């Protein structure tokens, strides 16, 4: 649409900014949902989603506080799935965070992550590094336990010189102390999100997915693709936008901000226009309408 033909509302949804990929301390982010929303307010973001790894505990508190601040909060999650022998991340949005099936699955994953952390700690011990499970749990509190927390404790215990060395030498993929996670297939994850009334997106496809895999994943029924991500080049973003047009899919995007854990806070540095959220909401409304007619 030509810019001069736009109504105030049209230009507003283009001018207003959203960040739909943020991690809180409920996974491996540094900030609480309250702190994230306060930053979002300062940065003038009109909508955000907290997409913790395999954890939806941010949803309730974030929704309530977002109402107070006048920010739109979108329920979100980043699910780890398993596809062609590799870890593949799927983003879920707009689901009912009280959905029993989804909550049961999240509880199950929290427990699985604890068991996996224990196995990694055992392997570290066999490789000469002694760290305490309770310290790792404390580090992760109140969120789900992951390798970033193990890496932090390894540094504190003096087993490695820095966070990155922990991954490079011990706990990174294909390293001696790596332990896989319990992973569902993308199709199962898409179904789980869809049953809870939400939409699924392939997260950061530019990182680790080749074109053929991407097309196969699109066939598994995702609603969209994350086009904007800090590790996507402008060319990749353009390419993924063409792809979603071709397959009539939705677009998502955001900063993948983990707070200061990853040296600087990326929130506000990478955003998407609010019309992306408007489009998502139109599709969610259509889905709910169809479900109610069944
Ligand atoms: P987990 O879900 O426990 O497997 O941990 C995954 C997280 O660990 C990712 O989201 C990253 O934050 C971090 N991570 C994974 N691999 C590396 C790596 N090679 N270097 C630094 N961080 C990593
Ligand atoms: Fe992460
Ligand atoms: Fe991810
Ligand atoms: Zn992420």
pLDDT in tens, the chain (294 residues): 333 455 656 667 668 999 999 999 999 899 999 999 999 999 999 999 999 999 999 999 999 999 999 999 999 999 999 988 888 999 999 999 999 999 999 999 999 999 999 999 999 999 999 999 999 999 999 988 999 999 999 999 999 999 999 999 999 989 999 999 888 999 999 999 999 999 999 999 999 788 888 999 999 999 999 999 999 999 999 999 999 999 999 999 999 999 976 567 889 889 999 999 999 999 999 988 877 776
Instruction: Determine the pLDDT at residue 201.
Output: 98
Nearest-atom number in ligand 1 for the CA of 113 is 3
Residues 6+ apart with CB under 8 A from 33: 24, 26, 50, 58, 61, 62, 65
Instruction: Determine the pLDDT at residue 8.
Output: 58
Nearest-atom number in ligand 1 for the CA of 172 is 19
Distance 40 CA to ligand 4 centre (A): 17
Nearest-atom number in ligand 1 for the CA of 150 is 3
Instruction: Determine the pLDDT at residue 4.
Output: 45
Instruction: Determine the pLDDT at residue 84.
Output: 84
> What Å distances lie between residue 237 and 136, 250, 252, CA to CA?
37, 13, 11
Instruction: Determine the pLDDT at residue 9.
Output: 64
Instruction: Determine the pLDDT at residue 290.
Output: 77
- Nearest ligand, CA 256: 4
Residues with CB under 6 A from ligand 1: 28, 53, 146-148, 164, 167, 172, 181
The C-alpha atoms of residue 72 and residue 46 are separated, in whole angstroms, by 6
Instruction: Determine the pLDDT at residue 195.
Output: 96
Atom 3, ligand 1: residue with shortest CA distance: 146
Instruction: Determine the pLDDT at residue 6.
Output: 54
Distance 16 CA to ligand 1 centre (A): 32
The C-alpha atoms of residue 223 and residue 81 are separated, in whole angstroms, by 16
């Amino acid at each position: 649409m030509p810019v001069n033909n736009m109504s105030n509302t049209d230009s507003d949804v283009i001018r207003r900014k959203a960040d739909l990929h943020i991690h809180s301390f409920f996974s491996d982010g540094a900030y609480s949902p309250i702190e994230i929303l306060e930053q979002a307010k300062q940065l003038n973001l009109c909508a955000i989603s907290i997409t913790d790894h395999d954890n939806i505990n941010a949803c309730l508190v974030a929704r309530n506080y977002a109402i107070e601040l006048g920010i739109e909060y979108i329920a979100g999650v980043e699910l780890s799935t398993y596809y062609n022998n590799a870890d593949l991340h799927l983003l879920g949005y707009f689901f009912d965070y009280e959905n029993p099936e989804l909550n049961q699955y999240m509880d199950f994953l929290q427990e699985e992550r604890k068991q996996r952390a224990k196995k990694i700690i055992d392997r570290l011990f066999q490789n000469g590094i002694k760290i305490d499970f309770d310290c790792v749990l404390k580090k992760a509190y109140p969120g789900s336990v992951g390798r970033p927390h193990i890496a932090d404790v390894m540094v504190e215990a003096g087993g490695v010189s820095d966070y990155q060395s922990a991954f490079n030498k011990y706990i990174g993929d294909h390293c001696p102390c790596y332990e896989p996670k319990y992973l569902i297939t993308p199709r199962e994850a898409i179904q789980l999100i869809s049953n809870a009334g939400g939409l699924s997106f392939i997260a950061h496809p530019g990182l680790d997915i080749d074109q053929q895999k991407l097309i196969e994943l699109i066939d598994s029924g995702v609603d969209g693709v994350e086009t904007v991500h800090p590790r996507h080049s402008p060319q990749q973003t353009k390419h993924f936008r063409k792809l979603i047009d071709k397959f009539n899919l939705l677009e998502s995007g955001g900063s993948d901000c983990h707070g200061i854990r990853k040296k600087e806070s990326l929130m506000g540095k990478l955003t998407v226009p609010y019309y992306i959220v408007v489009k998502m909401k139109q599709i969610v409304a259509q889905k709910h309408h169809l479900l109610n007619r069944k």
